[in-house]
Amino acid sequence: MESVGPLIARQRELQLLDACLTSARSGQAAAVLIRGESGMGKSRLAETLIDHARRSEVVVALGHCTPVSGGELPFGPFVQMLSQIASAPQTLAKAAGAA
């Protein structure tokens, strides 16, 4: 996902996320959870982080909370991320090689 225009009023969050990305580049695995109310810019912040990570050739796996009948799917975002990694052997090998 390519960023569209500058990210406004999120410098503190970007600094924290960039620190996680720097750790990931040096071999320290990291997970980032972004939460908040609808419309607060979570997706835009995540897209910016993903752009930075992919440009640095850091493995990225995404999970989203999606409502299902009866509530949320337990551990849904983690299942999605693990499924992405497992379905792409080259991604898994790259992630394992960096660890």
The whole domain housing 77 covers 60-99
- Structure-token match 């409502």, residue found: 67
What pLDDT, on a 0 to 100 scale, did the predictor assign at position 2?
45
32 shares its domain with 19? yes
Is residue 3's pLDDT more than 50?
A: no
Is residue 73's pLDDT more than 80?
A: no
**Per-residue pLDDT tens for 7-57?**
778 888 889 998 988 888 888 877 778 888 888 888 888 888 888 888 887
52 shares its domain with 16? yes
The 3-state DSSP class for residue 84 equals helix
11 shares its domain with 53? yes
Q: How many domains does the chain have?
A: 2
Confidence label for 1 from pLDDT (cuts 50, 70 and 90): very low
Name the E strands within the chain: 67-68, 71-72
What is the model's pTM? 0.64
Alpha helices in the chain, H assignment, sequence order = 11-25, 42-55, 76-86, 89-98
4 shares its domain with 51? yes
